[in-house]
Chain A
Amino acid sequence: MWRFRLLVQLLIIYMLWNGVFAHTDTIFGYSKQYMMSYILGVTVVSAITTTMRTTDIAGDVLKGTVVNYLIKPISFFKYLLAKEAADKLIHVPLAIFEIGLLLVFFHPLLYIPSNIPLYLLFFLSVSMGWCISFFISLSLSFIAFWTTEIWAPRFIFTVVVSFVAGSLFPLDILPKPLYIVLLATPFPYFFYAPTAIVLGKAPWTLLIGSGIWLIISFTLARFIWQKGIKEFSFYGI
């Protein structure tokens, strides 16, 4: 069901850009080819970096079942990363399949870069993007240690991410000041950064930004987790 929702969103945004290009050849300096490649590319990237299982954690904390994780001998974070990886094994191929369908039906002209080192940078960026997204999402779930209001903040987070992480449009089409402010947040590094890099945009600012946020997000998640389990009263049990 979730996949259907993503498919619908992909369809809408693809058709939107398609429709917009019906009247002009370039928008914000980008050609139709580039834009369509961006949209499809960002869909693959978001399938890789979106974390789904971290939302369950909030529920586990509320119910008290998080205790089960604490008494197991493996590191909690490693356990979650493994669960995420397993999830990806299903969702990423599905996303690629959906894009395949789109390609078959609409034959968009795509810009596919042939520069091999670019793909290495892409791989690096996407891995960092996944981790940053994972740790930020985890930190958000951990607020369950302090309040039962977990669904509204999660909803707000999802809504904001869907815009400022670049899944609807390449972030650099925004006015320069706004773009720079966004680069200071972790969001562009979820979806926008890897896609922009593989499509040829100068990677160094984005990679450095990713690196910084990787460290920050990891520290944040760890800090909140440790504080949380210390103060937690294990209410649901």
Chain B
Amino acid sequence: MKHTLSLLKLFSYYSIKKTLAQPLSVFLFVVAKIIRFALFFFFIHYLLSKTRMLVGYTLTETLLFFLTFSLIDGIAQLLFREVYRFRPLVTEGTLDLVLTKPYHPFLQILIGGIDILDVVMVCIYGVFALYFLRQIDSSYSLSLVVYILLIVNALIIAAAAHICILALGLISSEIDNALSLFRDITRLGSLPIDIYSEPIRTILNTVVPVGVMMSFPVKGYLGLLSIQSLVYSLLLGTVLLWTSLYMWRRALVHYQSWGG
């Protein structure tokens, strides 16, 4: 375990070192992401300051939904940045060299590529989320625990999705579309999913668990989630993770490698 952690630290260190090789690019992207975040934030703020309510949620609550989404999305991008670089790794054959090393390949291809840009953004989202959490009187004592638990669960679901994408990459190497599909669908969770009318809402709570990922943490914090829903979400996260790991193992058996 200790060995795994120190390896992870090293991978992260070298990954950041690589991104810092182009400081201007990093800076401009940080600026762009901050602008995008700020603009949407102020738009929601401005809109709801006049209308007061969105499907039963106040301005503060709606902003919390948006911030929680940004936080989860931000942490997922932070952790799984390396998956975006998987396709060239496969097509150039370098993946083979990774597979012959005595550590679990996920250490490198799943979480081995954190980006300083993402670290900055997650800190910003975190600070905002904390501020708004305190604005709302939580209805019960464990609310913060439930909130954090469901955020971790969301990240587990995101991990499962990324592992499936890696498995897909082993078989077909056409994963860039799958990645954008994932990002686009999760974006549906940037606002409380109650805004979607019925068939979509149920789908987002089950088959495509965006609602479970993005809306449940805040709902849990506000005391709107039943115990059954809580258990259901955690079970869902575990099942999805287990399934994705199984798919990865199957993909390794069918892996044909490139070159040679």
In-complex A–B contact (CB below 8 Å): yes
A residues lining the B interface (CB < 8 Å): 1, 4-5, 8-9, 11-12, 15-16, 18-20, 22-24, 27-28, 106, 149, 151-153, 155-156, 159-160, 163, 168-169, 174
**Contact across chains for B185 and A152 when beta carbons are under 8 A apart:** no
Given A5-B180, A156-B28, A156-B35, also A11-B188 (CB < 8 A): yes
CB neighbours (8 Å) of B32 from chain A are 152, 155-156, 159
How far, in Å, is A147 (CB) from chain B's closest CB?
Answer: 9
B70-78, B88-96, B191-199, B243-251: which lies at the interface: B191-199
C-alpha gap A1/B55 in the complex (Å): 30
In the assembled complex, B215 has its CB within 8 A of some CB on chain A:
no
A106 touches B51 (CB 8 A): no
A152–B208 Cα distance when bound, in Å, is 31
User: A18-B195, A20-B54 are contacts. A152–B188 as well, Cβ < 8 Å?
Assistant: no
B195, A16: Cβ atoms closer than 8 Å? yes
Closest-by-CB residue of B relative to A164 is B39
A149 touches B25 (CB 8 A): yes
The winner among A20, A22, A106, A153 for most chain B CB atoms within 10 A is A20
B177 interfacial by beta-carbon distance below 8 Å: yes
**C-alpha gap A28/B46 in the complex (Å):** 11
Q: B47 in the interface, Cβ–Cβ < 8 Å?
A: yes
Task: Give B159-214 interface residues, CB cut-off 8 Å to A.
Answer: 177, 180-181, 184-185, 187-188, 190-191, 194-197
B47's partner among A15, A20, A23, A151 (CB-CB below 8 A) is: A20
**Partner pick for A23 among B24, B46, B51, B184, CB 8 A cutoff:** B51
Asked if A19 contacts B195 (CB within 8 A), the reply is yes
Chain A residues lying within 8 Å of B184, measured Cβ to Cβ, are: 4-5, 8
Cβ–Cβ contact A169 & B47, under 8 A: yes
Pairs across A and B, CB under 8 Å, 15 listed: A8-B185, A12-B190, A15-B191, A16-B195, A19-B191, A22-B53, A23-B53, A23-B54, A24-B53, A27-B51, A28-B50, A152-B28, A156-B35, A159-B36, A163-B40
Give chain B's interface residues, CB within 8 Å of chain A. 24-25, 28-29, 31-32, 35-36, 39-40, 43, 46-48, 50-55, 177, 180-181, 184-185, 187-188, 190-191, 194-197
Within the complex, what minimum Cβ distance (angstroms) separates B180 from chain A? 5
Residues from chain A with Cβ under 8 Å of B52 in the complex: 23-24
Shortest Cβ distance from B197 into A: residue: A106
CB-defined contacts of A149 to chain B, threshold 8 Å: 24-25, 28
* Cross-chain contact B191 with A156 (CB below 8 angstroms): no
Q: Which of A12, A27, A159 is within 8 Å of B35, CB to CB? A: A159
Q: Which 6 pairs show the lowest CB-CB distances between chains A and B?
A: A152-B28, A19-B195, A15-B195, A156-B32, A23-B53, A159-B36
Q: Report the Cα distance A24→B49, complex, angstroms.
A: 13
- A163: B residues at CB distance < 8 A: 39-40, 43
What residues of chain B lie closer than 8 Å to A153, measured between beta carbons?
Answer: 28
A152-B29, A155-B29 known; 9 new pairs, CB 8 Å cut-off, are: A1-B180, A19-B194, A28-B50, A152-B25, A152-B31, A155-B28, A155-B32, A168-B43, A169-B43
Q: CA of A145 to CA of B158 in the docked complex: distance in angstroms?
A: 40
Chain B neighbourhood of A1, CB < 8 A: 177, 180-181
| Inter-chain contact A20/B51, CB cutoff 8 Å | yes
- Complex contacts, B46 vs chain A, CB 8 Å: 174
CA distance A164 to B26 in the complex (A): 24
Give CA–CA (A23, B39) in the complex, Å: 24
Give complex CA distance A236, B29 in Å: 24
Once the chains bind, are A159 and B188 in contact (CB under 8 Å)?
Answer: no
Contacts of A20 in B (CB 8 A): 47-48, 51, 53-54
